[in-house]
Amino acid sequence: MAKVNIALDAELVVEVMVLAGINNPQDAVEAVVRDYIARGHRTEARTAGRDEPVRTGEIVPTEPQQG
């Protein structure tokens, strides 16, 4: 896997380390990035089903309200 070196504010990294309970700065930053990516995938999965009829032009009948 390719590696990327970046400079980050030390206070940000320390805060992530404390919040995540991780002792290694690189592992803490990787955890944040992985969480961000996973959250994006979950959001895509939730909205894909909702947007599918609009994207395909299919009309899906709505369910009648119960109550």
Per DSSP, the residues of 27-60 read: HHHHHHHHHHHHHHHHHHHHHHHHHHHHHHT---
What is the structure's pLDDT at 31?
Answer: 95
What mean pLDDT is predicted for residues 2-27?
95
Residue 20 has pLDDT above 80, yes or no: yes
Cβ contact 25:13 at 8 Å = yes
Q: What is the DSSP letter of 3?
A: -
